[in-house]
Amino acid sequence: IGLPGNGTIPAVDARRRGLAKDAGRTVMKLLADNVRPRDLINKESIYNALTVDMALGASTNSVLHLMAIAHEADVAFPLTLVNEISQKTPCLCKLSPAYIDEKTKYHIEDLDHAGGIPAVMNEIKGLLKLNLKTATGRTLAENIAGSQVIDSDVIRPIDNAFATTGGLAILFGNLAPEGAVVRRSAVAPEMLSHRGPARVFDSEEEATKAIMGGAIKAGDVIVIRYEGPKGGPGMREMLTPTSLLSGLGIDNKVALITDGRFSGGSRGAAIGHVSPEAAGQGPIAALREGDTIVVDIPNYRLEVELTDEEIKRRVAQLPAFEPKVKSGYLRYYAEKVSSASTGAVFGG
């Protein structure tokens, strides 16, 4: 539903002003032709969006947003679809912070100069549904016709992809029965499989204090809970903890899991959207300091070395969750928002 180029043209580029004018004209034409978002957003277009995101190296937030859009459009979007698409979509880009080294530290403006999203789409056109109508009035195939990769270091060809699988993975297991998401394109190879002791914190602030105080050691698995849609409320981005880990140079030695979410600026073994969340009495609420957590990204698993019976026993002992906000809209939101596994939609 966006015009070609909208995702990458820098704000200070003169083309942005031209694109804004084109967008205004396009909106008025769509209105005159009675074309609604539901006419353009469907199962196939969401499939395309996720496929392109995988090729770009992906963002964990895109899963949340696409699920919410799918919910509004009455399109079924099971989390398992993410892994299905990821397994057959190569990762062609590694944009900061998901870079390999300083020589390959590319940013969005580099992607734009290399051909932008249309060039990426043209490179993976064999994986896309090309006959779909778009906001331009043309098909996707027509939109990307003639687009080409100008810099193959930024946008790699399929036969020289950064990875044969896409940028995201959904993990399941006794710690995330409804799923959790990780940007595997930003995870150091040595952290794709990890086993370590849980360091449990009930807020972002508690975890930040521990990291800054030097309490986190190599091999630890930081757990930040009660930061999900209900628990936050609102599912904050855990940008400060991940930035600290990166700045301290231990993002390749420490894992972080949370029922909150992450910024696109996060890197490392940062696993978010753990569902059910702690405020919904998910297994993450049962974790205690020192419990052994197993992260197995290649096999899409997130486990704690506890029996199902022990997890249930611990959860049953927990007091009923009490929202942090006691009145007003946010209290109502905390009561009505759905799990991150279904898009964290209000009233869902």
Q: Residue 185 in contact with residue 221, Cβ under 8 Å?
A: no
Q: Is the pLDDT of residue 103 over 90?
A: no
Could you give the CA distance from residue 292 to residue 195 in angstroms, rounded to a whole number?
7
Q: Which two tokens stand for residue 74?
A: 């009455």
In this prediction the pTM is 0.91
266 is known as an active-site residue: no
What is the structure's pLDDT at 44?
96
What is the structure's pLDDT at 59?
87
Could you give the CA distance from residue 213 to residue 245 in angstroms, rounded to a whole number?
12
Could you give the CA distance from residue 257 to residue 329 in angstroms, rounded to a whole number?
28
Could you give the CA distance from residue 79 to residue 67 in angstroms, rounded to a whole number?
9
* Mean pLDDT across the chain: 94
Average pLDDT over residues 50-60: 92
Look at the block and give the residue holding tokens 């789409």: 121
Q: Is the pLDDT of residue 97 over 80?
A: no
- pLDDT, tens only, 109-143: 999 999 999 999 999 999 999 999 999 999 999 99
Look at the block and give the residue holding tokens 């947003």: 65
- What percent of the chain is predicted at pLDDT more than 90? 86
Enumerate domains of the chain plus CATH numbers: 14-160 (no CATH), 168-342 (3.50.30.80)
Average pLDDT over residues 209-233: 96
What is the structure's pLDDT at 296?
98
Name, in order, each residue with C-beta under 8 angstroms of 314's C-beta and a sequence gap of 6 or more.
285, 286, 288
Q: Is the pLDDT of residue 265 over 90?
A: no
Could you give the CA distance from residue 171 to residue 4 in angstroms, rounded to a whole number?
33
Look at the block and give the residue holding tokens 């998901």: 98
Confidence grade of residue 286 (pLDDT, cut at 50, 70, 90): very high
Could you give the CA distance from residue 261 to residue 236 in angstroms, rounded to a whole number?
6
C-alpha distances in angstroms, 256 versus 107, 191, 238, 243, 250? Answer: 24, 11, 10, 12, 11
Q: Is the pLDDT of residue 100 over 70?
A: no
Q: Which of 45, 62, 263, 341 is catalytic?
A: 263
Q: Which two tokens stand for residue 6?
A: 């909208």
What is the structure's pLDDT at 208?
98
Q: Which two tokens stand for residue 213?
A: 């105080």
